[in-house]
Amino acid sequence: MTKEISKLLSHVLRHAPERLGITLDANGWTSVDALIAKAREAGFQIDQSLLETVVAENDKKRFTLSEDRQRIRAAQGHSLDIDLDLKPSEPPHILFHGTARDNLDAIIAEGLRAGSRQHVHLSLDEETAVKVGSRHGKPVVLRVAAGEMQAAGFAFWQADNGVWLTDRVPPTYLRI
């Protein structure tokens, strides 16, 4: 049940709030009460307790509850135009990006682009990048010279769940 609710939350809070008839504010937040009510109308068995369990147990920490637990949003990964209101941060010198081997030629030529998402997602460690890359095919881990990028004027943000975000990564800052 929690996996089904987690998938629903990922979809509606990152890509398609209209699926349940909820609205997201400019920063991606929606009312917990409205989300639960609309999800129930759509046939999902969910209540505050289950919602909080899904948020707490999500292995990727994809969701954030407001301090008063009255609002919820996705931590990152939006295809919608959302301002997460994150302050630029100094990244570690090296970050990692997991992808499929089939994507390497395009990445070497063009660098990393956000595609349908708002940002390129980067990991703190190789293990996480391997897991991400495995979802798309035979995994390859790219090393991103994040410290050099920032020194060159590129901005980085760290999402609530620890994922590092940037607008793009030119090929000169990538190593396989």
Residue 1 has pLDDT above 80, yes or no: no
Same-domain status, 167 and 102: yes
How high is the pLDDT of residue 2? 86
> Among 38, 39, 65, 66, which residue's Cα sits nearest to residue 54?
65
159 assigned to some structural domain: yes
Could you read off the pLDDT of 61-107 as tens digits, one per residue? Answer: 999 999 999 999 999 999 999 999 999 999 999 999 999 999 999 99
Domain end marker among 13, 39, 74: 74
- Record the pTM: 0.86
Q: Is residue 87 assigned to a domain?
A: no
Domain that holds residue 51: 2-74
- Taking only the tens place, the pLDDT of each residue in 18-49 is 999 999 999 999 999 999 999 999 999 999 99
CATH number of the domain where residue 44 is located:
1.10.10.970
Number of domains in the chain: 2
- Residues 118-127: what's their mean pLDDT? 95
Is residue 56 domain-shared with residue 106, that is, in the same domain?
no
What length does the chain have? 176
Residue 91 confidence (pLDDT): 98
In 3D space, the residue among 97, 136, 100 whose CA is nearest the CA of residue 119 turns out to be: 97
What pLDDT does 92 receive? 98
Q: What is the pLDDT of residue 60?
A: 86
64 and 100 co-located in one domain: no
Q: Which of 39, 74, 109 is the last residue of a domain?
A: 74
Whether 162 maps to a domain, the answer reads: yes
Do 100 and 151 sit in the same domain of this protein? yes
pLDDT of residue 26: 96
Mean pLDDT of the chain: 95
pLDDT class of 56 with cuts at 50, 70, 90? very high
Amino acid 152: pLDDT? 98
CATH of the domain at 122: 3.20.170.30
Same domain as 132, residue 64: no
The candidate with the shortest Cα–Cα distance to 92, out of 133, 140, 129, 145, is 145
Q: In the prediction, which pLDDT does 5 show? A: 95
**Position 176 pLDDT exceeds 90:** no
101 and 166 part of one domain: yes
Verify that 123 and 162 share a domain, yes or no: yes
